[in-house]
Amino acid sequence: MNTIIEGYNNKLKSKLFGLLCEREKNGEWEKFLDSILIELQGYPEKDKTINYYSLVAKLSSLRYLRFTFFRKTIFECMNLITEE
């Protein structure tokens, strides 16, 4: 079971890095962000920790941040995923 969770967390971190790259090149990062948020809404209720709620809150604020803060927040989110 831990391998599945670890694999999912790695996949999610890759998506966050992809989101950062998409924002850097002024691509369709908002659609990318929306797809990540939609995916997280499907997370099982029993597995939602304080880090999950913090992750969702930080990701939800990304569309309102300047790039410097956007980048910092992405790396904070990656750290939250690692801490799970």
Query: What's the pLDDT tens digit per position in 50-72?
Result: 999 999 999 999 999 999 999 99
Please state the domain extents for the chain: 2-83
Per-chain mean pLDDT for the chain? 94
| Residue 76 to residue 55: CA distance in whole angstroms | 9
Cβ-proximal residues to 52 (8 Å cutoff; 6+ apart), any chain? 40, 43, 84
Cα–Cα dist 21/44, whole Å: 28
Quick check: 73 and 1 in contact, CB under 8 A? no
pLDDT of residue 11: 96
d(CA 48, CA 19): 22
* Predicted model pTM: 0.90
